[in-house]
Structure 1
Amino acid sequence: MNVKSTYVMLCCMLPFWVKSQPMEEYNTKVREVIVICKTHFDIGYTHRVNDVVNYYQTEMIDRAFKVMDASGDLPKEQQFAWTLPGWVLSKTMEDWKGQTPERRQKLDNKLKSGQIVPHALPFTMISDFCGLEEMARGLNFSSALCRKYNLPLSYSGKMTDEPSHTGALATVLAHAGVKFLHIGCNWPSGFVKTPGLFWWEGPDGSRVLTLYSASYGTNCAVCPKGWQGPNDPMMGVNLMPAKDWPYAVWPAILVTGDNSGPPTAERIKELFQEIKEKMPDVNVHMGTMDDFYEALMKDNPQLPVVKSAMPDTWIHGIMSDPGGVRLSREVHPLISSAEVLNTQLGVWGVPVASMSKDIATAYEKMALYGEHTWGGSKSVKAYGEAFEKLPADEYKDLEASWEDKTGYIRDASDIVQGITQSNLYSLATNVTCKKNSFVVYNPLPWKRSGVVEIDGRKIYVKNIPSSGYQVIPVKSMDKGGHEQSGNSIENDYYKITFDPAKGCIVSLFDKKTGREWVDKKADLGFGQYLNERFTFEQALDYTLAYQQGRAGDWPHPGIHKPGMISEKEVPYRAASPKDGNLKISGDSYVQMAELLMPSDKSRHLPASILRISLYKDQPYMDMEVVIQGKEKDNWPEADWLCLPFRIDRPEFNVYRQLGVMNPATDILPGANHHLYTAEHGLTITGTDGAGIAVCPLDHPLISLGVPGCWKCSDDYVPEQPVVYLNLYNNQWNTNFRYWYPGTWSSRVRIWTVEKGTTPEERSRLFMTSALEARNPLQAILVKEKRGNLPAVQSGLEVSRPGVTVTAFGADPDGNTGTLLRVWEQAGVSGKLMITLPKGMNTSVAVPVNLRGEKKGEPIPVKSGKFELELGAYAPASFILE
């Protein structure tokens, strides 16, 4: 499908609920209309990735030049200007093979003249899924272009399609100097009920002006009933302000469809003529989103503040690719630690190559994996036996587009794993030790103890220095794996009992408190694997409940499942395996149980394994579920790990990228109440404050109370203390994978929340434990060696746990010196002391924002230390000189 025909198809997805205004009706409060033109950018949806990039570099930008040139005879305020995302424009501007000198020169001229406008963001991202530093580094593409051409940094950004975003995005943008964000919701997606224009407050209290529209732009087509597609792709678009717009300045943000390019010069001229006829006294001109912010702020408008969460209603899509998501979850914490150790090795005198270019490439690949399109636009509408009969060539290109997407995070993982192993090897070959030993490196900036795996053996190590290492002699150790009898395992904290026939845990007994944490009356067992297979009617009912506008006339075929067999023939089914085999093994340090559950093809159940590990003297349990040999199938389904707890009157707290969300009180109407990311995990506590903490290591998508796929409501509040960890789903037939065959696994760590713990203590303790779970100690064997490094050494150190180092290396924004960025994640405000690694000769720490702009006075560094005031959930960045 070519771009033009794709756009014609997507035009009918514009919101029906927006009405063009009759000639005699207009907003008399508006004095100025700023026209902002943009095209919605998808990567790999309308075309394969490389084809889309090349299209922007050639035909797309050449068409834009023609519109700019054709509008040259118009008054200057009407001459066409085109706004583009930072990454997209950087690819268009780069010197690629095949670029012509004429186009190269014209690109330079149009960017310098302001007819090509970069906004601050790289592209639309699934921000609910992205890491903090990843979002921050995504801003580098636009800022690098602006700096190259001596242009001021754009302080506006736009997200199109994705209906809702994490509150952490507001914090990232505010601390990057981005002042205005436009969110243009995709039709037919349900939209979040916001005030329209508001201050969006991030978890740290910082704010960004935000305009939320229920369509790509602020003005859009009216699609009549029975509409089949326009000859004019801008049919129905107008520049008129909304009737109820209460401000003097209106941003007429005109967005053409997916990768469709700019509107014609003739159409733009018609639009200006139309609004001039209707509103002759209003100043109408081309401009930028920055212009809108400046004009609006002159009147010092009184705007509402939005603090509540708006979990993404597209977030289910990430778990169509469980293998890629697991890699992403591994890479996010690992890339920061890799950069930190590489920089510290240089400070300690170890000759290491600079990894800044590799780090930048890895962040780019990570951001591309977080971009909102995850595959091609082709539908596969055959189900059941009809699907099985389809030839492989029927969907070969579609599968290849999915692999393009997962390829980003595979590449990022390869880069980061390579840096990590190179760092550890350099460390191991430069430390001093007298006999065979292993070196343990701590990627977090506070002293900690924990479990490491050495030569297939898991052992506990104590007091590894902050961002530092320790050489530990190899002792004669039990190899582990001794089979044991019985149906339970235990340590000093828990006793866990299994029922192989049911395929689940029947008791999680807390020895310290005497509490039983498993709800034995629950319909589903604790640790049980659940597979749901949905019906055509369920998909259609969801679509009608979710979709905005005239859903009953045209339910979107990419959301509901046209061609599926009715529930009258194939009813909804929820199935779990049974009659498993229990194996228990262990040694003096670790006890492990494996529940091996057979496949059941008659019920579409793959084989699965549930692994539980308990460690000596460790107050947590590690759980891993393995899905084995899942078959290729596009039937809508969802896989879950079920965790029903026994807690009366439960209170849920979900720890997102920043901040804590109570799903009973904190979610805006129109956002996702049934399924959301728990970046770090969640706690469920009772009235006495006691409860359970759950930290998903590999897959962050959870539902509470009931499984959340194909469910939509604005008033759902979880009541039952059951966690459903999503292991896979293929909910939609657009944007995401339709099947994921093969084998994968998902790990979870669970521990107890003590009675009487205050919310502040709970947050601090939870985040410290979760960060340690997600940032495991790293270890490497080393033979006898007399190197130049001592056997124990500290690196970067912060004065309180819960503050992480997300950057420590060359500044991607070009400042001379070393960029150091810390980020508070435990919800604690106050003074923070930072201790630099020994050997780092630094006199001052210069505060900068997330785009490298200097802010505030330099802070003296004395004896390798400096102090700052750091707010809860806020970042702080410095150039160390």
Structure 2
Amino acid sequence: MVLSITGAHAQPPKENKNTNAKVTDIWVVFKTHFDLGYTDLPENVFKRYREEMMDNALKVIENNATLPPEKHFAWTVSGWPLQAQILGPQQTPERKARIEKAIRSGALAVHGLPFTTHTESLDYEDLVRGMGFSSTVARKYRLPLPISAKMTDVPSHSWIMPSLLKQAGIRFLQLGCNDASQYPRFPELFWWEGADGSKVLCNYTVSYGSGIKPTPNWPCKNYLAMQMTGDNHGPPTSQELDKLLAYAAKELPGVKVHFGTLDDFAKAVLAEGPDLPTVKGDCPDTWIHGLQSNPQETKIARNIRPLESALDGLHTQMKGWGIGVAPIAAELAKAYEQSLLYGEHTWGMNSAFGPRNSYGDDWKKWMEEAAAEPLPENGNYAQLKNGDAHNTATGSKRKWLRSYDDKRQYILTAKDIVSKELNEHLNLLASSLHIKGKRLVVYNPLPWKRSGIIENPWEKGSYFFVKDVAASGYSSYTIDELKAPDITHDEQPVFSTPYFKIAFDLTKGGIVSLIERSTGRELVDQSSPYVIGQFLHERFSKNEVDRFFNAYPRIKEGWGLNDFGKPGMPNAQEAPYVSFTPNAWKINVAHSAVADIATLTAVETNGYAKGYTLTFTFPRNAAYVDVEWGVDSKTAEKQPEGGWLCFPFKVENPTFTIGRLGGPVNPATDIIPGTNRHLMAVATGVSITQADQSGAALTSMDAPLISLGEPGLWRFSMDYVPTKASVFVNLYNNMWNTNFALWQDGSWSESVRIWPVGKQTQTVANLVQYGWETRLPLLTGKAEGEPGRLPVSKTGISVSRPGVLITAFGDNPDGDGTILRLWEQAGSTGNCIVSLGKESKVKAVVPIDLRGNKTGNKILVKNGVFNFNLGKYAPASFLLVY
């Protein structure tokens, strides 16, 4: 029995008639599933949480206050809506007082996570900051921090989750899939182990929650009845609670029923100490294709998230260097919040309100009608009625379209904040250098020394190479040192650089031969139908969609069909599958002392866009190739489609290493069945190696989704393992049919970096270094005028072990002071030495967890240096003592 399950993704599970004599206590936890905007515009959803839902919840809480303690109703809420909305500035004082009373009594409980996320789309610090909303509530009302967490609907999550939660002091995670999706083949109750060895107790249910009657094979005396209402539905009523209690009294004699929280269950079951299996593995998200339904904003997200940490560290170091900088804690917190909101799992309103079933002329007519609708007065979309696929009310089409723009705005706001602050900081740093006149500062946001190519800010399109910029430090250049190199042009498709011999195929548009000059090794699989950097556009027919639909959803009709199929699309005879690559390209090659840059321009686009370009950059001081795809005015298309960049590498019997959030994954051994084996997000990139560990690697600056072996849209399998040494980077897709954009258009670009991997190379360390150097480039600031007092170059904070990121170095988000957070990426365990610089005034550091709680004894800092033991793939956080 599950209470009032409603909403697009929720249906009651079938009632189990068996009994489980082992169970003595049932912990009933009540929650509704939070969708950021699926059921309405976000602003309307938030208003409903603040007002109607809270009034209903408070009514039940207050009505139950006279019952025995174990029957007191408790409603569990996610961290962000409680802290930012329910308790936010728009709440009335009268209602807020009642809410605060319910929080203090435990009747309104917060779990440890902000809401449900597309977890693998985020970066480390986004996830850490996301736990702060719950922590803020607990600390404000002097309650213990929650030790449990919950996510619903999204079927699978990166194995960063057990590492993240355990390292934050959270001990229990409940995951509830929606009824139609495939799901990881987890036990009901188990220990989930992350790449760093952290374990968290996990309960996985194949519906949003679970019934009150224990399942037959439940392994413990304490059972969790996760009573979920559907998407933004709100709490149960008093009558529903009475019905549940009457049912329990009749059907479960002798079993004690407790109304409570996830923490209550976690404490009980952990105290019981059950013998449970441990599962170590990653769970790529089977909904992750949705990221590239917004390719332009997802590119911004991938670019801006590493810069949040870079801004944090630069600000703190500039203060230490004596530069007067204004506080940025509030701005940075807002940027992290907005980034996290973009990673929340709903990206627009239910497409039932849009043209979900319309194709061809019907869809074009819908678009014309939407464009012709008048804008609401004063921009107030909240009052517009919603329609459905067959009955749209005035303004509803604009409202539906607006919901997708609302989602996009989150990451645009994060970009505005971070870009503005970072530019101001970098320019201020440049003005503080002891150089007169025009000068440029080059800042390295990574804690190891590096070199690279940067653009002259005074002469767009002019690049130069900078060497050995210090860890977390800077180098500087005068205007006289920024002379543009001489450039020559030709149209030859075959040429050499210091590192490669290159031959282009101007029919397919890409590199048909890439020979590493130091070894003579060919990097391109010339037996492949593709070439390196080739653009591939796929338009799918009903055959491919039906193949996926028959393999993936567990519900084959109703909302299962609407969400995971493409009802209404023409049959395969009318609209067959098409694989398109422009078949003629023009080439122009620019040669300079900095780089050789080949630009390919498509001669014909077949109506899919106004134009395509492919730009291949071969630095003369580094052995990598940057491939940038650009589209001019992509044509909007409702028919299922997707775009790729293709990278067929010549590697024998390949082993794949995928740089995933949380730790590297071998798809042959580390992926839990039932999750996504055909398309997944990567943090650093992919390395493909053969027996001697040589091979090739790839990372994308802009596009997080990759497929291995073959393009992976509209594919699902329980056991697929790639055997071909090919990587396909997804540029865009409209695979979703529920609450993600149904078409893509406009002009934008996406870039990928590839590099050869040498024999006996440490695969993970190599991928980490080059992956993060790609994603977090050298940063520049400019100034002119009188000199400042800082030296022309400087070393910042550094770490003795390569492959350790600094994800936070700044104001403590969990209290007073300054924190330093490192996160091991290369898979090494052992002593780590951190140098804060000889000028540092830090006297000691105190180990803390990811929510700011002290975890160890103070470590002394001598001459700006301290050391500690850092585990593989693990974070380490410290509060600095001055």
Q: TM-score, normalised by structure 2?
A: 0.93
In the superposition, relative to structure 1, how do residues 93 and 388 fare at CA in structure 2: closer, same or farther (>3 Å)?
Answer: closer
Structure 1 residue 516 displacement after superposition: 1.5
Structure 1 residue 58 displacement after superposition: 0.7
Q: Which residue matches 1:14? A: 11
- Distance in 2 between residues matched to 1:623 and 1:411, nearest whole Å: 28
Which of 508, 511, 515 is matched with 1:509 structurally? Answer: 515
Contact 2:532 2:648 in 1 (8 A): yes
- Distance in 2 between residues matched to 1:724 and 1:502, nearest whole Å: 15
Structure 1 residue 511 displacement after superposition: 0.9
In the superposition, relative to structure 1, how do residues 537 and 791 fare at CA in structure 2: closer, same or farther (>3 Å)?
Answer: same
Q: Which residue matches 2:765? A: 764
- Distance in 2 between residues matched to 1:449 and 1:9, nearest whole Å: 53
Contact 1:693 1:750 in 2 (8 A): yes
Q: Which residue matches 2:255? A: 282
> SS state of the match for residue 789, structure 1?
coil
1:596 aligns with 2:569: no
- Distance in 2 between residues matched to 1:555 and 1:328, nearest whole Å: 30
- Which has the higher mean CA deviation after the structures are superposed, 88-97 or 62-71? 88-97
1:460 aligns with 2:436: no
Contact 2:113 2:130 in 1 (8 A): yes
Which of 647, 650, 654 is matched with 1:650 structurally? Answer: 654
In the superposition, relative to structure 1, how do residues 434 and 102 fare at CA in structure 2: closer, same or farther (>3 Å)?
Answer: closer
- 1:382-781 to 2 correspondences below 5 Å: 382-390=358-366, 391-392=369-370, 393=373, 395-434=397-436, 436-455=438-457, 456=460, 457-473=462-478, 474-475=480-481, 477-479=483-485, 481-548=487-554, 550-551=555-556, 555-601=560-606, 604=608, 607-757=611-761, 761-781=762-782
Q: Which residue matches 1:194? A: 186
> SS state of the match for residue 612, structure 1?
strand
- 1:226-265 to 2 correspondences below 5 Å: 239-265=212-238
1:676-703 per-residue CA deviation (whole Å, 9 max, x = no partner) reads 1121101111223210011111111001
Structure 1 residue 100 displacement after superposition: 2.9
Q: Which residue matches 1:786? A: 787
| RMSD of aligned Cα (Å) | 1.7
Contact 2:464 2:484 in 1 (8 A): no
Structure 1 residue 561 displacement after superposition: 0.7
- Distance in 2 between residues matched to 1:270 and 1:75, nearest whole Å: 17
- 1:121-200 to 2 correspondences below 5 Å: 121-200=113-192
- Distance in 1 between residues matched to 2:621 and 2:822, nearest whole Å: 31
- 1:233-382 to 2 correspondences below 5 Å: 239-379=212-352, 380=355, 381-382=357-358
Structure 1 residue 577 displacement after superposition: 1.0
Q: Which residue matches 1:222? A: none
1:278-305 per-residue CA deviation (whole Å, 9 max, x = no partner) reads 2221110111111111111222111111
Contact 1:80 1:265 in 2 (8 A): no
Contact 1:529 1:639 in 2 (8 A): yes
Q: Which residue matches 1:119? A: 111
> SS state of the match for residue 389, structure 1?
helix
Percent of aligned positions that are identical: 41
Structure 2 residue ranges without an equivalent (≥5):
374-391
- Distance in 2 between residues matched to 1:793 and 1:518, nearest whole Å: 41
- Distance in 2 between residues matched to 1:120 and 1:601, nearest whole Å: 51
In the superposition, relative to structure 1, how do residues 476 and 879 fare at CA in structure 2: closer, same or farther (>3 Å)?
Answer: closer
> SS state of the match for residue 481, structure 2?
coil
* Aligned residue type for 1:794: T
Structure 1 residue 73 displacement after superposition: 4.4
Structure 1 residue 475 displacement after superposition: 2.3
Aligned residue pairs, count = 845
In the superposition, relative to structure 1, how do residues 781 and 488 fare at CA in structure 2: closer, same or farther (>3 Å)?
Answer: farther
Contact 1:344 1:837 in 2 (8 A): no
Contact 1:431 1:785 in 2 (8 A): no
Contact 1:369 1:408 in 2 (8 A): yes
Structure 1 residue 607 displacement after superposition: 2.3
1:618-648 per-residue CA deviation (whole Å, 9 max, x = no partner) reads 1111111112211222211111111112222
- Distance in 1 between residues matched to 2:70 and 2:810, nearest whole Å: 44
Structure 1 residue 125 displacement after superposition: 0.7
Structure 1 residue ranges without an equivalent (≥5):
1-5, 220-238
Q: Which residue matches 1:822? A: 822
1:31 aligns with 2:24: yes
> SS state of the match for residue 8, structure 2?
helix
Q: Which residue matches 1:67? A: 60
Contact 1:86 1:120 in 2 (8 A): yes
- Distance in 2 between residues matched to 1:326 and 1:701, nearest whole Å: 11
Contact 2:29 2:262 in 1 (8 A): yes
* Aligned residue type for 1:636: P
Q: Which residue matches 1:232? A: none
* Aligned residue type for 1:385: D
Contact 2:609 2:633 in 1 (8 A): no
> SS state of the match for residue 120, structure 2?
coil
> SS state of the match for residue 507, structure 1?
strand
- Which has the higher mean CA deviation after the structures are superposed, 495-504 or 647-656? 495-504
Q: Which residue matches 2:383? A: none
* Aligned residue type for 2:37: G
Contact 1:57 1:91 in 2 (8 A): no
Contact 1:490 1:591 in 2 (8 A): no
- Distance in 2 between residues matched to 1:203 and 1:489, nearest whole Å: 43
> SS state of the match for residue 509, structure 1?
strand
Structure 1 residue 8 displacement after superposition: 4.3
* Aligned residue type for 1:112: R
Q: Which residue matches 1:227? A: none
Structure 1 residue 75 displacement after superposition: 3.1
- Distance in 2 between residues matched to 1:489 and 1:421, nearest whole Å: 38
Structure 1 residue 536 displacement after superposition: 2.4
Contact 1:525 1:643 in 2 (8 A): yes
1:378-436 per-residue CA deviation (whole Å, 9 max, x = no partner) reads 33211122211222247322221111111000100110011111111111111102554
Structure 1 residue 718 displacement after superposition: 0.7
Contact 2:351 2:739 in 1 (8 A): no
* Aligned residue type for 1:779: T
* Aligned residue type for 1:368: L
- Which has the higher mean CA deviation after the structures are superposed, 659-668 or 310-319? 659-668
Q: Which residue matches 1:233? A: none
Structure 1 residue 7 displacement after superposition: 7.0
Structure 1 residue 76 displacement after superposition: 2.9
- Distance in 2 between residues matched to 1:7 and 1:742, nearest whole Å: 40
* Aligned residue type for 1:387: W
Structure 1 residue 70 displacement after superposition: 3.0
Structure 1 residue 472 displacement after superposition: 2.4
1:650-705 per-residue CA deviation (whole Å, 9 max, x = no partner) reads 11111112311111221111001111112110111122321001111111100111
- Distance in 2 between residues matched to 1:195 and 1:103, nearest whole Å: 42
Contact 1:120 1:155 in 2 (8 A): yes
Q: Which residue matches 1:56? A: 49
1:193-228 per-residue CA deviation (whole Å, 9 max, x = no partner) reads 011211111111111111111010022xxxxxxxxx
- Which has the higher mean CA deviation after the structures are superposed, 842-851 or 761-770? 761-770
Contact 2:464 2:482 in 1 (8 A): no
- Which has the higher mean CA deviation after the structures are superposed, 521-530 or 719-728? 521-530
> SS state of the match for residue 793, structure 1?
coil
- Distance in 1 between residues matched to 2:847 and 2:299, nearest whole Å: 34
1:848 aligns with 2:852: no
* Aligned residue type for 1:275: A
Structure 1 residue 259 displacement after superposition: 0.2
Structure 1 residue 250 displacement after superposition: 0.3
- Distance in 2 between residues matched to 1:116 and 1:611, nearest whole Å: 55
